[in-house]
């Protein structure tokens, strides 16, 4: 089994998949092979169907079952060189609207974070629409104060993009990065290395609680809020797509369902 998993990892690395995706695919295929137990080189479509059904029966979400199916498909095609169609359909994922914080809630969150580094981290994540992985990997050389831009490198799907930097944060960034090497992380840990994702998420969670905001928001809600607020300001959805780095505009258009100026003007009949 280890031989097949090593081949899987090599194929994923050759195609430039992120370490996080590689770990995820490896875990899914490991589970699949352990369940199969033997004849790893044989692709049994009926077995794959039953395996996916077992995931559904165990209460796994559609996202989880789809991830397993995607990993198995990749394994069969790229490692086992199986060239026939695996007729197992992906599960429908529930259409959930993103949780968006209002501008007032963003201000409230920032007002309760006294630590300057943490405050800037949350402000920058919101103002540029950065994922938690992007904010912790941000280096001094990625920020251009003169042009008010942030260069996000090797983001999701290994795509680079340019996003916004608000002028009001220049002083805070200069203070935090003073004396740092261009290759240093902007938000380094106390030991000087990269900050852990969980640490950044905890900073947000604690601020959310301290601000008394009851929404089930996560660090990623800052990115959702960035996109929604830009659309509310009249920015074209195609520009928002570029700033977020979405490959498909339909992914960006979900935010148009969250913001609807015309709908907000309608008053409830209960006065």
Catalytic residue numbers read 131, 156, 220, 223, 246, 255
Q: How far apart are CA 142 and CA 184, in angstroms?
A: 10
| Number of residues assigned to the chain | 271
> What is the chain's Cα-based Rg?
22
HSE (CB half, 13 Å, CA atoms) of 81? 1
Q: How far apart are CA 171 and CA 206, in angstroms?
A: 25
Q: How many CB atoms lie within 10 A of CB 68?
A: 21
Q: How far apart are CA 217 and CA 204, in angstroms?
A: 9
Integer angstrom CA distances of residue 165 from 50, 87, 101, 159, 244: 49, 46, 19, 19, 13
Angle between helices 62-74 and 19-36 (to 10 degrees): 80
> Are 256 and 225 within 8 A, CB to CB?
no
């Amino acid at each position: 089994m280890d031989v097949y998993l090593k081949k899987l990892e090599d194929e994923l690395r050759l195609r430039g998949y992120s370490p996080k995706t590689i770990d995820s695919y490896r875990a899914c295929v490991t589970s699949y092979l352990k369940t199969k137990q033997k004849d790893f080189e044989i692709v049994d479509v009926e077995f794959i169907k039953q395996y996916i059904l077992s995931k559904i029966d165990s209460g796994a979400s559609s996202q989880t079952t789809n991830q397993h199916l995607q990993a198995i498909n990749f394994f069969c095609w790229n490692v086992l060189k199986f060239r026939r169609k695996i007729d197992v359909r992906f599960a429908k994922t529930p259409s959930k609207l993103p949780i968006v914080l209002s501008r007032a809630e963003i201000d409230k969150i920032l007002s309760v974070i006294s630590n300057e580094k943490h405050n800037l981290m949350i402000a920058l994540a919101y103002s540029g629409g950065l994922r938690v992985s992007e904010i912790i990997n941000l280096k001094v050389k990625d920020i251009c104060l003169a042009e008010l831009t942030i260069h996000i490198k090797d983001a999701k799907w290994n795509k680079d993009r340019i996003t916004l930097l608000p002028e009001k944060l220049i002083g805070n960034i200069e203070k935090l990065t003073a004396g740092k090497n261009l290759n240093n992380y902007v938000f380094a840990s106390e030991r000087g290395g990269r900050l852990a994702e969980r640490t950044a998420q905890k900073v947000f969670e604690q601020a959310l609680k301290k601000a008394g905001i009851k929404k089930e928001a996560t660090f990623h809600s800052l990115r959702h809020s960035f996109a929604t607020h830009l659309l509310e300001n009249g920015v074209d959805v195609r520009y928002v797509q570029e700033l977020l780095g979405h490959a498909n505009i339909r992914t960006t258009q979900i935010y148009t369902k969250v913001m609807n100026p015309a709908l907000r003007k309608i008053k409830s009949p209960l006065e």
